Amino acid sequence: MTKQVDARGFSCPQPVIMARQAVEEGEFPIEVLVETVTSRENVRRATEKMGCTVEVEELGDEFRLTVTK
């Protein structure tokens, strides 16, 4: 089952903190929902530094990042 982290409406660094906590819990895959390009890039970089693979999908004005180990 996919774990979902809804970080929409939060400004950085909150989406990064939420994504990192989800990665540390170890339940994959993780879908992280964000609204801004800045949050998208910060979450992507942070989770990749933790050894994860990230796929980014644009959903209108939002982004879904699928994080896998």
- What pLDDT digit, counting tens, does each position of 10-66 carry? 999 999 999 999 999 999 999 999 999 999 999 999 999 999 999 999 999 999 999
Please tell me the predicted confidence (pLDDT) of residue 63.
98
* Residues 13, 39: Cα–Cα separation, whole Å: 8
Please tell me the predicted confidence (pLDDT) of residue 37.
97
Name the strands in the sheet holding 3-6, side by side, starting at the edge strand that comes first in the sequence. Answer: 3-6, 30-34, 62-68, 53-59
Please tell me the predicted confidence (pLDDT) of residue 42.
98
- DSSP-derived pairing of the beta strands 53-59 and 62-68: antiparallel
Please tell me the predicted confidence (pLDDT) of residue 33.
98
Please tell me the predicted confidence (pLDDT) of residue 10.
97
All domains in the chain, ordered by first residue: 3-68 (3.30.110.40)
Vertex 18, ends 50 and 46: CA angle to 5°? 30
The stretches of 1-69 forming alpha helices (DSSP H) are 14-25, 37-49
Residue 63 pairs in a beta bridge with 34, 58
Please tell me the predicted confidence (pLDDT) of residue 19.
98
